Amino acid sequence: MKERIGLYPGTFDPPTRGHLDIIERAAKLCDFLVIGVAENRRKEPLFSLEERVSFLKQEIQDNLPLLKDQLIILPFSGLMVEFAVEQRAQIIFRGLRALADFEYEFQMAWMNTRLNGDIETIFLMASERYQFVSSRLIKEIACLGGNIHPFLSSRIAKALLERCQ
Ligand code: ADP
C-alpha cells in the first residue's frame, strides 16, 4: 500500500508546546511526517532558519523520542505546495486555534488546492490548553518580561529571553 506522507509546515519562530502537540497528533495520521520549517523572510523571524530547525530537532528528541524515526525536519523556502510535491506528501497538516486562524487558513487551503488539487489540507483543532499559545504572543510576553515557561521548553524559553535582551 502507498505510504501516507504528511507535511506540517510552519515558521516555528520559536516552536511552542502547541506546535509539538500538533506534531504528535499529525504523526498518528500518517506513516511519515515532514516538518517543514519555512524560511519566511517576510515575517522577519527572530530566530534564524538554522536555529528553528535545530530547536525542533532538540524538542522532538526530548519530548517525542518514540516518533523520531517517523519524523523529518527540513527547511524550505518558496511555495508550500511545491515543497509538498518534492517531499511526496499527499496531506498538509495545519493547526487551528479559535476563530482567529480560520480566515487565513481557509484562504491558504483553498489556494493550495487551486495550485495542486492532489494535496489535501487537514486541520487539527488546537488542544484546549494550547488554544491561546502563539509564537507571536510568546515573543511579545518574553520581551516585556512576562512568564513564558508554561508555553515553551526551558531550552527555548532561555534562548528567547536571551534574544530579547
Ligand atoms: P505560520 O507562519 O505558517 O502560521 P506558525 O509557526 O505560526 O507558522 O504555525 C504553524 C502552524 O501551527 C499553523 O497551522 C498554526 O495555526 C499552528 N499552530 C501554531 N500554534 C498552535 C497551537 N498553540 N495549537 C495548535 N496549532 C498551532
How far apart are the CA of 1 and the centre of ligand 1, in A?
31
153 in active site: no
Q: Which residues pair with 120 in a beta bridge?
A: 91
How far apart are the CA of 20 and the centre of ligand 1, in A?
10
- Is the pLDDT reported for residue 160 higher than 80? yes
43 in active site: yes
Residue 72 CA, distance from chain mean position: 12
Q: Provide DSSP, 85-118.
A: HHTT-SEEEEEE-TTTTHHHHHHHHHHHHHH-TT
Cell readout for 8 is 506540517
97 in active site: yes
Catalytic residue among 25, 54, 57, 97: 97
- Is the pLDDT reported for residue 99 higher than 90? no
Summarize pLDDT for 1-25 with one digit per residue, the tens: 789 999 999 999 999 999 999 999 9
How much is the average pLDDT of 86-106? Answer: 93
Burial class for 146, CB neighbours closer than 10 Å (0-12, 13-18, 19+): exposed
Q: Which atom of ligand 1 is nearest to the CA of 130?
A: 23
How far apart are the CA of 11 and the centre of ligand 1, in A?
8
42 in active site: no
| Global confidence as pTM | 0.96
Phi/psi for 45 (5° steps) reads -60, 150
